[in-house]
Amino acid sequence: MDIFTESLDAHVKAVKLLPALSGRVAQACDAIIKAFINKNKVLLCGNGGSAADSQHIAAEFVGRFKLERRGLPAIALSTDTSILTAIGNDYSVDRIFSRQVEALAQPNDIIICFSTSGKSRNVLEAVKKAREFGCFSIGFLGGSGGALKDLVDIPLVVPTNDTPRIQECHILLGHIICEMVERAFAEQ
């Protein structure tokens, strides 16, 4: 029961920040919708459970969330083990996402990064590279937001240091964004 209570507590803390957070979520939705309308794509990245979250949200865009609509171009950068291990071996684990951004990003694409600490070197490097390419960035973060908070265009920070609770809130926020974006395309 403690886990359930802790999860609810993390969600309540996030809800208390709803005025600021909802504005940022709306901005994120608008940016993603605009990118998709303009034939741009969304690149997503994260490590460990955050890698799974990035894959989950990419799947919701490419497949569907709840409504019928066209597939939306999204790529989780954590999914190709050959690319990840080649870059990690030939360069550095710090470059596993930035090298893919270098290969795939176009101006006005979106990068969505998941990092419970906001300190993951390879995610930081991906956002830096994305900025060089003129991409817009959204960060799903936890705790204080770490260095990523000041690097991304829209930081979505869950105010706890408890990693599982952060990830639970990230999926809630991700689902809200997926639903709002999907509504824009289901109506077309």
Q: What is the dihedral of CA 85, 90, 92, 94, to 10 degrees?
A: -60
Amino acid at 125: E
pTM equals 0.92
DSSP for residue 94: G
Q: How far apart are CA 18 and CA 65, in angstroms?
A: 23
Give residue-wise pLDDT tens across range 77-133.
999 999 999 999 999 999 999 999 999 999 999 999 999 999 999 999 999 999 999
Give residue-wise pLDDT tens across range 117-148.
999 999 999 999 999 999 999 999 999 999 99
**Which residues pair with residue 154 across a beta bridge?**
138
**Chain centroid offset of residue 1 CA:** 29
Task: Cite the DSSP H helix spans in the chain.
Answer: 2-16, 18-37, 49-62, 81-90, 98-104, 121-132, 146-151, 163-186
Confidence of residue 5 (pLDDT cuts 50, 70, 90): confident
Query: What domains, with CATH codes, occur in the chain?
Result: 2-186 (3.40.50.10490)
pLDDT of 18 > 90? The answer is: no
| E strand or H helix at 74 | strand 74-76
